[in-house]
A = this chain, B = another copy of it.
Amino acid sequence: MADPVQPADDPARALARAILRDARHGALATLDPQTGGPLASRVACALDGADLLLLVSDLSQHAAALRADPRCALLLGEAGPKGDPLAHPRLSLNAVAVPEGKPARRGAWLRAHPKAALYVDFADFRMLRLAPRPSFLNGGFGRAHRMTPDDLGLRGDQAARRPPLTCR
């Protein structure tokens, strides 16, 4: 059987970047620390330059899951109220969640989520960055594309592992 998933092309890259830019929330898949089974939960997100951020409560099921195993997948892109839900484009972003300092990201978060001013400073809310892995864009029926971090315009997984520059 022919592989139904195509490499990225320019229209797919533009569509994926528009989904990332517009996304304010998504469905996060994580692993249950007890069973290794899948979990699904809603999270808020925001794009800050080349970084996709999450703000999560330590009390949430997904925060506990990500502490045990940082691998996750985030489904982005609204289906809209009309037509076949599978005809609407969506991005399945595979990623690893890495901790981010909250003070440096606070302003970007509040620009995307003004109502989060009520709780962004609570001690149990932490900022995470999703370091992307090879992902999938589904642009509608028969329009599936593999997407690298570069295709998505996101800072990749390697950057998260690279040691910080030391100056002297």
A-side residues, CB < 8 A to B, are 1, 4, 24-31, 35-44, 59, 61, 71-75, 77, 79, 83-88, 90, 92-94, 113, 115-116, 136, 138
Contact A85 B116 (CB under 8 A): no
Per DSSP, chain A at the interface is strand
Q: Which residues of B contact A24 (CB under 8 A)?
A: 85
Q: Which residues of B contact A87 (CB under 8 A)?
A: 115
As for how many copies of this chain the complex holds, the number is: 2
A90 to chain B, nearest CB (A): 5
Q: Which residues of B contact A28 (CB under 8 A)?
A: 40
Q: Quick one: closest B residue to A136, CB to CB? A: B61
Contact A42 B72 (CB under 8 A): no
Contact partner, A38, options B26, B31, B83, B116, Cβ 8 Å:
B31
Q: Which residues of B contact A38 (CB under 8 A)?
A: 29-31, 38-39, 71-73
A25 to chain B, nearest CB (A): 3
A92 to chain B, nearest CB (A): 5
Contact A85 B42 (CB under 8 A): yes
Q: Which residues of B contact A75 (CB under 8 A)?
A: 27, 40-42
A23 to chain B, nearest CB (A): 10
- A41 to B86 alpha-carbon distance, docked (Å): 10
